[in-house]
Chain A
Amino acid sequence: MKKIILPGCILFLAMSGLALARVSGLFPTAIGPEPLTATYQQINAVFTGDWQQYGQLFTNLQQFLFPRLFLLVITIVPVIFFLHYIAIGPMVFDHGGKQVYCYNLFVRVVHWCAALSFSLLVLTGLLILFASLFAGGAIGIMARSVHLFSALTFTGSAFLLLLVWIKDMLPALYDIKWMIIMGGYLTKEKKPVPAGKFNAGQKMWFWLATLGGAVMAVTGYFLYSFSGNIDTLRLSAIIHSFLGAAMLAMFLIHVYMSMAAIKGALGSMISGYKAESELKILHPEFKY
């Protein structure tokens, strides 16, 4: 029995010593053709990085979701508006009577700068996403340049609008009520809707365009300049596309509301005046 115990103890000590030395890295790793798997793992860490995390996500989203999402937005939203226009029709107000000065010249100029640059952003953005329809090349390159300059213009004008309108755009309690009745756009009757100088829909559009616009500017900067590592770029592209689709939808809503759904809304942003009769219905809480 003794003959087994002593060598057994020695063997055990030797084995545990070896194991310890191996764990603590005292031994050099084997040289030669043996540790291929470990080597390829190290190479892949440098070569492909963590592609499965964001690279795969970006690839799948860009391949299957983004073009369809944007296509859906630019088709479904106008169709809904068309149906709304036929079924419920626009809001028509008597624009005679007392006029209220709502937008001063500075605000109007900045608004139209933002409007023009945002329209260009939408057009060129869609042009880039669907560039294959135009065979790419010069048109796509021009679209990217216009997108850049429109973005710069829009960032400046959106920042000014943020400063000018931030007080009127702060959320209020009656905004919830406005959201519940959808701003009264689903009925034909003209009852006063709960809204201040700007209603909840305008506030949503405002915050999406300013805060969302800031996110778009930052992600867009990464995408245009390729600064930051590859995962930053992939995340930027994903955020830029999702947020872009949301802003595009809100932009289309804004255009429909101002151009068609409320007669004379376009004129108020040109002249700066709104009729008091209209304000009593659409913006009753507005103290002018």
Chain B
Amino acid sequence: MGRMKFLCDIERCIDCSGCVVACKEGNHIPVGVNRRRVITIGQGKPGEKSISVSCMHCADAPCIAVCPVDCIYQRDDGIVLHDKEACIGCGYCFMACPFGAPQFPSGQVFGARGAMDKCTFCAGGPEETFSAKEVRLYGQNRIAEGKVPLCAGMCATKSLLAGDADEVADVYRERVFKRGSGANAWGWNKAYKKE
């Protein structure tokens, strides 16, 4: 089985935040929780770059290592999922995660945090696939439908790629080659090549 991965092409990302909106809207994410966010560096300066980030679905994920309830698990295809009904909202996964992926809805009794919410790669959760409960707790299960996650599916510039790691890498490699740099850059031949 392949290994599922996200890849954000920072040469293409234009900080439109469409991925954030698509994920939030399509999966009915609670207020205050973002499964995906866009980081922009050098804003307004030459060389400004943006990248869309979420759960990286790590191999040997730190969140799985620290969870005291063992409610986070990894599927064979590398997608890291969690059981919201077992989660006690202790927040250890948030502290262990290098990427700030686990998020917690606020506003429970005594100011407590609710169950952790994070990117599911649009693969639902441990509940029965396509059940109403799965949709309510985790959002859509587009992987089971054979589709890419919402964020990647709607990305207008196709900078956000998702899917089998080998295929994503192939697409990106081809892009880098075509885009190139130096003698391989777009327009180089027109400008410099003598007929």
Any B CB within 8 A of the CB of A96:
no
In angstroms, how far is the closest chain B Cβ from the Cβ of A39? 5
Chain B residue at smallest Cβ distance from A132: B70
Contact with A along B93-111 (1 / 0, CB 8 A): 0111111100010000111
- How many residues belonging to A are interface residues under a CB distance threshold of 8 Å? 46
Inside 8 A of B94's CB, which chain A residues have their CB? 226, 230, 233
Most chain-B CB neighbours within 10 Å: which of A49, A129, A143, A224? A224
Any B CB within 8 A of the CB of A187:
no
Pairwise interchain contact A39-B66, C-beta atoms closer than 8 A: no
Our pick among B49, B69, B71, B112 for the contact of A39 (Cβ within 8 Å) is B49
A49–B100 Cα distance when bound, in Å, is 10
Any B CB within 8 A of the CB of A128:
yes
Any A CB within 8 A of the CB of B80:
no
Our pick among B47, B86, B99 for the contact of A137 (Cβ within 8 Å) is B86
In angstroms, how far is the closest chain B Cβ from the Cβ of A144? 6
Chain A residue at smallest Cβ distance from B92: A62
Any A CB within 8 A of the CB of B44:
no
A233–B95 Cα distance when bound, in Å, is 7
Main secondary structure of the interface of B (DSSP, over half): loop
In angstroms, how far is the closest chain A Cβ from the Cβ of B6? 13
Inside 8 A of B100's CB, which chain A residues have their CB? 230
Pairwise interchain contact A59-B66, C-beta atoms closer than 8 A: yes
Any A CB within 8 A of the CB of B154:
no
Pairwise interchain contact B110-A42, C-beta atoms closer than 8 A: no
Our pick among A42, A49, A143 for the contact of B41 (Cβ within 8 Å) is A42
Chain A residue at smallest Cβ distance from B181: A33
Pairwise interchain contact A47-B69, C-beta atoms closer than 8 A: no
In angstroms, how far is the closest chain A Cβ from the Cβ of B114? 9
Chain A residue at smallest Cβ distance from B63: A59
Inside 8 A of B109's CB, which chain A residues have their CB? 145
Any B CB within 8 A of the CB of A58:
yes
In angstroms, how far is the closest chain A Cβ from the Cβ of B41? 4
Inside 8 A of B88's CB, which chain A residues have their CB? 128, 131, 136-137, 140-141, 143-144
A145–B108 Cα distance when bound, in Å, is 11
In angstroms, how far is the closest chain B Cβ from the Cβ of A59? 4
Our pick among B39, B62, B69, B95 for the contact of A43 (Cβ within 8 Å) is B39
Contact with B along A49-87 (1 / 0, CB 8 A): 101000100110011000100000000000000000000
Inside 8 A of A144's CB, which chain B residues have their CB? 88-90, 112
In angstroms, how far is the closest chain B Cβ from the Cβ of A141? 5
A33–B181 Cα distance when bound, in Å, is 7
Inside 8 A of A55's CB, which chain B residues have their CB? 62, 95-98
Pairwise interchain contact A226-B39, C-beta atoms closer than 8 A: no
Contact with B along A111-145 (1 / 0, CB 8 A): 00000000000000000111110011100110111
Chain A residue at smallest Cβ distance from B97: A55
In angstroms, how far is the closest chain B Cβ from the Cβ of A187? 42
Chain A residue at smallest Cβ distance from B96: A59
A128–B92 Cα distance when bound, in Å, is 11
Considering the complex of A and B, which 4 residue pairs feature the smallest CB-CB distances, nearest first? A140-B88, A136-B69, A51-B98, A136-B86
- Using a CB–CB cutoff of 8 Å, the interface residues on chain A facing chain B are 28-36, 39-40, 42-43, 46-49, 51, 55, 58-59, 62-63, 67, 128-132, 135-137, 140-141, 143-145, 148, 223-226, 230, 233-234, 237
- Using a CB–CB cutoff of 8 Å, the interface residues on chain B facing chain A are 10-11, 39, 41-42, 46-47, 49, 51, 53, 62, 65-71, 85-92, 94-100, 104, 109-113, 176, 179-181, 185
9 intermolecular pairs with C-beta atoms under 8 Å apart: A55-B62, A135-B69, A136-B68, A137-B85, A143-B88, A144-B88, A144-B90, A148-B112, A233-B91
